[in-house]
Amino acid sequence: MPRAAVRAYLALVGGLGGLVTAVMLMMSVAANSGGEAERIAGTQDDSYAATLVGALAVNLSKPLR
């Protein structure tokens, strides 16, 4: 098999992999932003202190890496 064909195949597979990854990332962000937007909109009626406490509770509930 010629080297040019192998390089073209690898470039094609790499490009498709990158494209699939980008699409999956966009779908993930789109799926998660609706609920997050509703949560943020719901906190607009609260006071600043309640919003701050809510944000800290969300951040502190995540496991440390």
How confident is the model over 3-62, as pLDDT tens digits?
999 999 999 999 999 999 998 888 887 777 777 767 766 666 667 777 777 777 877 776
pTM summary value:
0.48
Tokens of 42: 């719901």
Q: Express the helix, strand and coil content of the chain in percent, nearest 5 each.
A: 85, 0, 15
The boundaries of the domain holding residue 28 are 3-60
Domain count of the chain? Answer: 1
d(CA 8, CA 46): 57
Closest CA to 37 of 26, 48, 29, 27: 29
CA distance 19 to 25: 10
Residue 11 lies in a domain: yes
Instruction: Answer whether residue 65 is part of any domain.
Output: no
- Reference 35, options 58, 65, 62, 63; nearest CA is 58
